Amino acid sequence: MQQEVIIVGGGMVGLSLALMLAKSNIAVKLLEAIQYPNYDDANLAPYHSSFDARNSALSRRSVQIYQELGLWDALQEHATPILEVQITEQGSFGKARLLAEQEKVESFGQVIENAWLGRVLLTEVRKQPLIELIDGVQVTSLKQDTDFAYIEAVRGQEQLQLAAKLLIAADGRDSFCRKALGIGASEHDYDQVAIVTTVQTSKPHAHVGFERFSHLGPLALLPLPGEYRRSVVWPVPKGTEHEWMGDENDQHFLNALQQAYGDRAGKFEKTGRRFSFPLSQVLAEKQAVGRVVLMGNAAHTIHPVAGQGFNLCMRDAYVLLRYLTEQAAQSADLGDAAMLRDYEQSRLKDQQRVIKFCDSVVRGFSNQNPILKFMRNTGLVAFDTIPGIKPLVANYAMGLKA
């Protein structure tokens, strides 16, 4: 008898994992709180709460996973490769460059708008006979015993009661499932808000990604499809974001961006609508309890600096898939608690390394002490000149040494 898995949360991680499982002949019920859009226009990807204005810098490992799923051709149409990375600090001498050609790789990764990534994933999910998609549903109860995990949910006037050997909670930073299980979480508020938008510059992006540590916060400028389009992710102190939001502040925002970046990208000519997202680190105390495993932001929400969050989640999902396919091949219990704990332990080293790195970068570059600033920039110069460091860092950033 074919075992079935319940996934609560149909964002990018939930959809990706559902496809991994279905293509490995494991049936899935996928529950999502928001009703998914119907895509009538082939050339549009409207924003949805799960696939919003943000962009994802897919590491080479994430690209490989989507290639294995047979999705990369569809995603590649909306993605742009990163062939060079430049790291600088505003008003300082340090600079580091990573070149794909020097590291002998096709690219460091690919940038794709979440709206398009979500559209491609959702379109594929809707084609899969082994995935039952239940959207517009609110989970109200999660319980488990030695044999099953049980879900109660509401969709309109309809009451749903579901059970499965394994439940995967991918329901976001404020996960209902995590709280229902009594799993605690540590939270650190960075007191920052990420301003996210798309801009047009006078110079072509030439597939260069910039990480610029400005006085306000770490500013990422990444290439997008279209020679002059770039994505902006700019964490700024909480409360200051309001002066840059709204159409009437377009030029004010462009001026601030120009001041922070200088002329490396040429003139910032146009900006799209700005969106803002509060930034915090949320780490679940446990990721596997009984027949339930936490995935995505429900397990670990991290700062977007260096673009590692989604890629870390994809590696989690891929490793969990390996454990589950081994269980399925032996007709063993997919929700076996010991197996899920083994999965959790297998992921801790990679998770802790990425979480510590991102947190250290944010805290380290937030301090404007002149001595620390000098040390940071000396470190950037050393990184750029000492042999052997770049390949190691590049492999980690690409997710190839996890």
Tell me the three state secondary structure of residue 78.
coil
CA 340 vs CA 52, 130, 160, 166, 318: distances in Å: 31, 22, 26, 10, 14
Beta-strand (E) ranges in 145-245? 149-155, 158-164, 166-169, 185-201, 208-213, 218-223, 229-237
Tell me the three state secondary structure of residue 283.
strand
Per-residue pLDDT, 287: 97
Question: For the chain, how are helix, strand and coil distributed in percent, rounded to 5?
Answer: 35, 30, 30
> How many other C-beta atoms are found inside a 10 Å radius of the C-beta of residue 251?
10
Partnered with residue 40 across adjacent β-strands are none
Per-residue pLDDT, 383: 43
Residue 255's contacts (CB-CB under 8 Å, 6 or more residues apart) are none
Residue 84's contacts (CB-CB under 8 Å, 6 or more residues apart) are 97, 98, 99, 100, 206, 207, 208, 209
Residue 15 per-residue DSSP state: H
Per-residue pLDDT, 379: 47
Per-residue pLDDT, 50: 57
Tell me the three state secondary structure of residue 39.
coil
Q: Which of 311, 348, 339 is nearest to 13 (CA)?
A: 311
Spell out the per-residue pLDDT of the chain, length 402, in tens. 567 899 999 999 999 999 999 999 999 999 999 998 887 666 565 555 555 667 888 988 999 999 999 999 999 999 999 998 887 775 554 567 777 777 677 888 899 988 889 999 999 999 999 999 999 999 999 999 999 999 999 998 999 999 999 999 999 999 999 999 999 999 999 999 999 999 999 999 999 988 887 777 778 899 999 899 999 988 889 999 999 898 889 999 999 999 888 888 899 999 998 999 999 999 999 999 999 999 999 999 998 877 788 999 999 999 999 999 999 999 999 999 999 999 999 999 999 988 887 887 776 555 454 544 444 444 444 444 555 554 545 454 545 554
Residue 272 per-residue DSSP state: -
CATH architecture type of domain 4-52+125-187+281-361: 3-Layer(bba) Sandwich (3.50)
Give domain 74-113+191-279+379-397's CATH number out of 3.40.30.10, 3.30.9.10, 3.90.320.10, 3.40.640.10. Answer: 3.30.9.10
Per-residue pLDDT, 264: 83
Per-residue pLDDT, 211: 83
What is the Cα–Cα distance from 366 to 241, expressed in whole angstroms? 17
Residue spans per domain, the chain: 4-52+125-187+281-361, 74-113+191-279+379-397
What is the Cα–Cα distance from 402 to 399, expressed in whole angstroms? 6
CA 402 vs CA 29, 185, 399: distances in Å: 29, 24, 6
Tell me the three state secondary structure of residue 378.
helix
